[in-house]
Chains A and B, each alone.
Chain A
Amino acid sequence: MTGRVLRGVAAVVVFVVSVFPVYWMVLTAFKPTRDIQAETPTFLPLSLTFEHFGTAVSAQGFWSFWRNSIVVAGGSVLLALLVALLAAFAVARLRWKGRRGFILMVFVAQMTPWEALLIPIYVIARDTGMLDTLWMLTLVYFMITLPFTVVTLRGFLAAVPVDIEEAALVDGCSRAQAFRRVVFPLLAPGLLATSLFGFITAWNEFAFANVLIIKNQDDRTLPVWLSSFSNTFGTDWGATMAASTLFMLPVLVVFLVLQGRVTTGIVGGAVKG
């Protein structure tokens, strides 16, 4: 009995500690300024306002930062998907010399400590005139997400039975047709999940965006802009939290879309052992 109560208390503590910072961010974003600056903070959403979201949205360059983030993250994911799909097909479906070596290369590339490559990539970007361009950032994010995309897509492709594909070949499909009509529809959920995870990685990336976009402030992405919130909002914490909430929103949506998949994946994998 005491054990049960203790576990209940522990569960509540873990939940509150996990959720509180995010709750506090959203709550502050909706609180009227006088409540934010009150001596005693209020912990419940008693009076709400959209004023801070208005401030955030009308901040200078807000929409171009959104556009840049979407263009860079979207572009890099599409590129990674295209390139990785070809490689994943070769790895999952074909036998060839050097295949093991290639897989090893992808695994090692996945573990790249990108933080250590900030300086050389900055120097290379400068030498090639790609500094301060969104193109360079897209290419870097493409490379950051590529190994992971190859590995996951290979897993999803391997899960599609070869028999189905061969049946299509016997029925007179060409390899390309078999891929397009039979394999691709089965692969679509995996493609979606992989690309969304890649999108989040690129959406959240700060270090390279901070180094590669320097001169043209309008070309910055959301994380870099948000990291220097005191330049934009000063001590207006309501607006800062509203901007953070808006920045987190797409990521949260992606997680909700994937949520069923993620948790069932974890639990299912666990049960199967």
Chain B
Amino acid sequence: MSTTLSRAVRHRPPPTPPPPRRRRTSWWPYLLIAPTVLATAFLLLYPLARNVVMSVQEFGLPQLVRGDARFVGLANYARVLGDPEFWAVVRRTLVFAAVNVVLIMVLSTLVALLLVRLGRWTRLLVMSGLVLVWATPVIAATTVFQWLFQSRLGVVNWALVSLGFEDYRGYTWFADGPATFAILVTLIVWQSVPFAALSLYAAMVTVPSELYEAARIDGAGAWRVFASITFPILRSMFGLITCLEVIWVAKCFVQIWVVSQGGPGQATTTLPVYAFQVAQSLQRYDLGAAVSMLMVLLLVLALLAYFRQMYRQEEVS
């Protein structure tokens, strides 16, 4: 690196070095970004293009081995969109995303409001708890949750039985669709709340306290203060975090794949899991590619909303 820099400098020996802003015609900024651009082209754009191409080809196991794929136009998309199973998966993904995001946003707002009102040491304690969750690797979390909800020795079943719910003695959570769905939601909400709560808390601290005092003097209750001061002022921040969570939850793959592989049956098969199942298990890489392209399309819509929010946020500040 340093050789490139010094060579560039020697190339144009200035008696007094000009301020960096003047170096308009120099070619070495482009040299500096070249590795990043090349990496992005080969490792990101090329796979993306390959996915697009694959989604309009007939690409199964024979084509993977021999490599003479035939173009079939939009047949894969037609087949996917005409499949009722695909629409069931889309509906499930939307429900999954909606349940998760609503829970995440409500809980993190409550936690953030709580943090604002806590004393210094209690707040530090709660915050370090949240950071610990944030730091927990996904795979460690999935392993622990499988242990928590284990049928015979799991602590959750023990607690439920102790509370008088005899039905849960030896209950096998992962054999039941809705139960597995609920565990995955719990897991993802547990993992996502810290980031959202800490960001919202950081934003809430910026609201001038005079506003709260004035509202309280006017006799406004806690809900009223939140609805007419905190939320309107932080509207764009709420929007931003909601968009991020929608994207993260919708493309969530690892937790589902590790805990249930989309099962039992198809109970927890969301779009990314479905795309992977179709490609890996059925070895229909073409259909898998088409499904993942449709998923990208949905995510891009969410992304555009996110960028619009970010743009507004920049304009405000």
Contact = CB atoms under 8 A, between A and B. Distances in A.
B29 A94 contact: yes
Contact of A86 (B32, B203, B292): B32
B159 to A, nearest CB: 9
B24 A179 contact: no
Given A15-B125, A143-B39, A244-B143, A119 B5 contact: no
Contacts of A94: 20, 23, 26, 29, 32
Interface stretch (B76-84, B88-96, B126-134, B209-217): B126-134
A24 B147 contact: yes
B137 interface: yes
Given A123-B50, A248-B136, A109 B144 contact: no
B275 interface: yes
B147 A28 contact: yes
Given A21-B148, A21-B190, A11 B133 contact: no
Nearest to A263: B127
A78 interface: no
A228 to B, nearest CB: 9
B145 interface: yes
Nearest to B194: A18
B48 A117 contact: yes
Contact of A14 (B64, B114, B275): B114
Contact of B20 (A93, A97, A226, A248): A93
B183 to A, nearest CB: 12
Contacts of B111: 14
Contacts, number: 264
B33 A207 contact: no
Contacts of A118: 275-276, 279, 292
A102 B33 contact: yes
Given A115-B272, A263-B127, A266-B202, A237 B5 contact: no
Contact of A18 (B36, B130, B206): B130
Interface residues of B, number: 93
Contact of A119 (B43, B54, B138, B299): B54
A53 interface: no
A187 interface: no
B197 to A, nearest CB: 9
Contacts of A109: 40, 44
Interface stretch (B97-105, B224-232, B249-257): B249-257
Nearest to A229: B143
A237 B194 contact: no
B253 to A, nearest CB: 4
B251 A176 contact: no
A159 interface: no
Given A115-B251, A124-B46, A41 B155 contact: yes
Give the interface SS of chain B, mostly helix, strand, loop or mixed.
helix
Interface in B139-165: 139-145, 147-148, 150, 153, 155, 158
A197 to B, nearest CB: 11
A204 B289 contact: no
Given A21-B141, A166-B19, A11 B9 contact: no
Interface string B1-27: 110011011000000110111011010
A119 B51 contact: yes
A217 to B, nearest CB: 17
Contact of A120 (B51, B67, B251, B303): B51
Nearest to A268: B202
A168 B111 CA distance: 48
A11 B118 contact: yes
A271 interface: yes
A57 interface: no
Contacts of B51: 116-117, 119-120
Contact of A113 (B9, B136, B190, B296): B296
B44 A86 contact: no
Contact of A169 (B17, B24, B130, B138): B17
Given A7-B114, A170-B17, A90 B32 contact: yes
Given A14-B130, A123-B285, A262-B131, 12 more contacts: A15-B126, A21-B148, A86-B33, A115-B251, A117-B47, A142-B39, A207-B253, A223-B138, A229-B143, A247-B140, A270-B203, A271-B205
What are the 3 A-B residue pairs with the smallest beta carbon separation, nearest first? A18-B129, A90-B32, A143-B43
